[in-house]
Chains A and B, each alone.
Chain A
Amino acid sequence: MNLTLKIWRQAGPKATGEMVTYPVSGISEDMSFLEMLDVLNEQLNARGEEPIAFDSDCREGICGMCGLMISGKAHGPEVTTTCQLHMRSFSDGDEITIEPWRADAFPVIKDLVVDRSSFDRIIQAGGFISANTGSAPEAHSVPVPKPKADRSFMAAACIGCGACVAACPNASGMLFLGAKITHLGELPQGQPERDARVVNMLTQHDDEGFGGCTNIGECSSACPKEIPLDVINQLNKDLRHALAHGE
């Protein structure tokens, strides 16, 4: 198929960017979206134009490295990651705009690449269970009811891609944060630090410049791992408890 791509080009963090139009042809529907960009980059390279910078690594939908705004939708029209989006979701003649995630907490580094280290700093603030190596009790000493284990796993499936933030009109990171709160809060091992965790992580979230949640739900619909909105309810609940406990 033949497509017209309008792609954000920005030479560096401080440079001003612009949308540039690139026609591409001979795209097969079996290609992934990023393979389509690979094809374009090979053509640019051959013409002596610098290839478009974009992030990807696993290309299996699990590392969370990829992420593009595709015609206004985070990760494009399907519920999946950009790397797992295939060209069969598009039609011959389509015009597709491709932009980086837009959020104050995710500054652009170059072209389609952004800096998401703010997510790491939120985890540093408390997204862990303190268990030094070697100090662990026998794994079967604490059974975990299956429904709790399953819900914990569901929330732990977050890949830290940032699509939730990009999709949110407030650029809020609450879905990401709620997922971590739920992952650790459902487990018996996560209880001792539960109150402090939610307060510290939320403080960091706000300090990084992420917006607040106004219950719009765009985050969850954009999430490739289908993290449900109720993790944000969990976050709010945990926060109320923590404040009541004097955190």
Chain B
Amino acid sequence: MTDLHSDTIAPEAPEAPATDSPEAPAPDTLVHGLYREGEPIVDTKAPRGPIAERWNTRKFEAALVNPANRRKLTVIIVGTGLAGGAAAATLGEAGYNVKSFCYQDSPRRAHSIAAQGGINAAKNYKEDGDSTFRLFYDTVKGGDYRSRESNVYRLAEVSANIIDQCVAQGVPFAREYGGLLDNRSFGGVQVSRTFYARGQTGQQLLIGAYQALERQVAAGTVEMFARHEMLEVVIVDGKARGIIARDLVTGEIETHLADAVVLASGGYGNVFFLSTNAMGSNVTATWRAHRKGAHFANPCYTQIHPTCIPVAGEHQSKLTLMSESLRNDGRIWVPKNAADCEKDPRQIPEEDRDYYLERIYPSFGNLVPRDIASRQAKNVCDEGRGVGPKVGDFRRGVYLDFTDALKRMSAEAVAEKYGNLLDMYQRITGENPYEVPMRIYPAVHYTMGGLWVDYDLQSTIPGLFVTGEANFSDHGANRLGASALMQGLADGYFVLPNTIRDYLAKGPFPKLEESHEAVVEARASVDARVQKLLSINGDRSVDSFHKELGNIMWEYCGMERSEEGLLKAIDLIRGLRDEFWRNVKVLGAADTLNQSLEKAGRVADFLELGELMCIDALHRRESCGGHFRAESQTEDGEALRHDDEYAYVAAWEWGGQDGAPTLHKEDLVYEFVEMKQRSYK
């Protein structure tokens, strides 16, 4: 467990500034032999004062950029999901010169498109007692008191503007017969504040942002680079000044320079190989920035979503989410007796069914937060009461039953609300959910962790901003349903455009030539890495490494984590990473479309991230939100937080190629919400 030097890695960019590459520390200063503690983070740049005033204060204090100067300022935005697309459109409208990047063939395909259930906003259209403060409160509580009050309040505050903006763009939200917007309650809250568009909310919101983006492309303010993958960030004099990207069609390695860089590259759930993320979702953009000095915060906070279609076999390439809105009307159960698990569920009488969520959590029932619903599903399956076919020698599935809803509401009403989800289920499993209860099992879905950012969404690298799922900022240790879309659009439309101007007002920064030493070096490191990957020519495919990494992560850094397991995982990951760089087989050439090469680069970064996730999980010896430590639970198996020791953000600084990472703690102070142990009983 002690050998920190076991990983052999491809030629790399030189380490970031001197402070980022400590000399190899003496082993005795390392905690667990793995990491060091550094200076705490004291200032997040959030204004002081009453929480409801802070965002206004910041907007007022942030410097303005004269409209005539905006054209001279270039902003690179990596990502065209809600967070990146909305920001690109908004900054383009404001007159900045924007360069927008995505790896798909069109910005409209960013993975935000796949979000199903809805988007929260504190509109209180239902007059059910909702308010900005309640959305703020619910989000802080839902995040298990591991998020920042100032950020979350701002999120709740701008949420209402998001809906206005989207409606103005023509987003066809669900409406009532009177023509007004419909709302539903969603994922662990007791008010109806979720706006939706059937089960395709993310798609509709993204199309709105995409169309606004294309309008700016036509207007000439945004230049679009689709089928481009960012592979490195360019840092000059300590500031982010551009990126190195590969044109995925021609293979050309390109340099793009700018006055500021925004990463809106989404989440890193694919470190688990199987997740609900898109095939191309990756950590590369943020990881490359991390290696250049951006702190990575709370990497171990991952959300395992309770309602996904179970794994069918070895060939599985990804997992499909069934929106948890299904939990509003569907009831979750398993047989009381393991002996019934093979039976046709329709033959199992009511008294032999265990509606375990309703039993354990009578007041929230099937609507408990995701982490709890997931862990309980795991528990009943671990007890041998799982249902569905065996994969390996285990049944991993629980029933999600619409029988009662079909009796109460009619099949038409169910189809109107959930039709596309139920159809999708049938398509994938070959079973008709109107007749047979569906089977679901938890799957990796969202990553709360991400690059550390201050209140302005700026990382520890000046000029490098991070928005959406790629940052860590708003969801603490657990995200409430329908709040990622809210955060993506809040960041993109309203927060970043107001905070980045404070930075840009200091520019334009000195003109950079592509021949600048730092630019040349960044580019050379990308070239070298591509060549290295193509030259290994070993025996194993990229996917085989990715799957093995995913298994390690799921087993030891998934729904339940323990010291013993995590230490083992770290060893295994190091061994695997070592083998990857000796034995991966990537065919094809550098100068054409080469999907194996793309995957290889992403997996290489996941192999480094996985280790940091395990270290983070290991150091946090408490259970909070999506992070459940076996060593920290109550007598009846519920998560046990330790606020006295762990009420902080863990921001990790890259330790250099062979060094150990350094932990910087940002204390979380609660002035407006009282910290309580969550209880949904």
Tell me, yes or no, whether A109 is within 8 Å of chain B by CB: yes
Dominant secondary structure of chain A at its interface with chain B: loop
Are the CB atoms of B106 and A117 closer together than 8 Å?
Answer: yes
Residues of B with C-beta under 8 A to A110: 592-593
Are the CB atoms of A57 and B278 closer together than 8 Å?
Answer: yes
- Chain B interface residues toward A at CB < 8 A: 86, 89-90, 93, 104-109, 111, 113-114, 123, 125, 161, 163-170, 172-181, 197-198, 200, 203-204, 207, 210-212, 214-215, 217-218, 224, 226, 249, 278-280, 312-313, 315-318, 320-321, 424, 427-428, 430, 493-494, 497, 541, 543-544, 585, 587-588, 592-593, 595-596
Q: Say how far A225's CB is from chain B's closest CB, in angstroms.
A: 10
Are the CB atoms of A139 and B123 closer together than 8 Å?
Answer: yes
Are the CB atoms of A109 and B497 closer together than 8 Å?
Answer: no
Q: Say how far B391's CB is from chain A's closest CB, in angstroms.
A: 11
Closest partner residue, chain A, to B316 (CB atom):
A35
Closest partner residue, chain B, to A145 (CB atom):
B179
Are the CB atoms of B165 and A64 closer together than 8 Å?
Answer: no
9 closest residue pairs by CB, A with B:
A143-B179, A136-B168, A128-B211, A131-B168, A153-B172, A136-B164, A124-B218, A133-B90, A63-B109
Residues of B with C-beta under 8 A to A116: 105-106
- Chain A interface residues toward B at CB < 8 A: 11-12, 28-32, 34-35, 38-39, 42, 45-46, 48-51, 53, 55-65, 78, 80, 84, 86, 88, 109-110, 113, 115-117, 119-120, 123-125, 127-140, 142-146, 149-150, 152-153, 156-157, 159-160, 183-184, 186-187, 189-190
Among B90, B111, B173, which residue has its beta carbon within 8 angstroms of that of A58? B111
Among B86, B181, B279, B320, which residue has its beta carbon within 8 angstroms of that of A139? B181
Residues of A with C-beta under 8 A to B427: 61, 78, 80, 84, 86
Pick the most buried of B174, B218, B316: most chain A CB atoms within 10 A of its CB: B218
Residues of A with C-beta under 8 A to B166: 139
Starting from the known contacts A120-B217, A133-B165, A134-B493, 16 additional A-B residue pairs (CB-CB under 8 Å) come to A38-B543, A45-B585, A58-B109, A58-B114, A61-B427, A62-B114, A63-B104, A80-B427, A110-B592, A120-B214, A129-B168, A136-B164, A139-B163, A139-B181, A142-B167, A143-B175
Are the CB atoms of B170 and A129 closer together than 8 Å?
Answer: yes
Q: Say how far B498's CB is from chain A's closest CB, in angstroms.
A: 10
Among B109, B226, B313, B544, which residue has its beta carbon within 8 angstroms of that of A117? B226
Q: Say how far A106's CB is from chain B's closest CB, in angstroms.
A: 10
Residues of A with C-beta under 8 A to B169: 128-129, 131, 136, 189
Q: Say how far B627's CB is from chain A's closest CB, in angstroms.
A: 27
**Once the chains are docked, how many angstroms separate the CA of A149 from the CA of B107?**
25
Q: Say how far B114's CB is from chain A's closest CB, in angstroms.
A: 5
Are the CB atoms of B424 and A60 closer together than 8 Å?
Answer: yes
Among A117, A131, A149, which residue has its beta carbon within 8 angstroms of that of B105? A117
Are the CB atoms of A12 and B592 closer together than 8 Å?
Answer: yes
Q: Say how far B324's CB is from chain A's closest CB, in angstroms.
A: 15
Are the CB atoms of A57 and B111 closer together than 8 Å?
Answer: yes
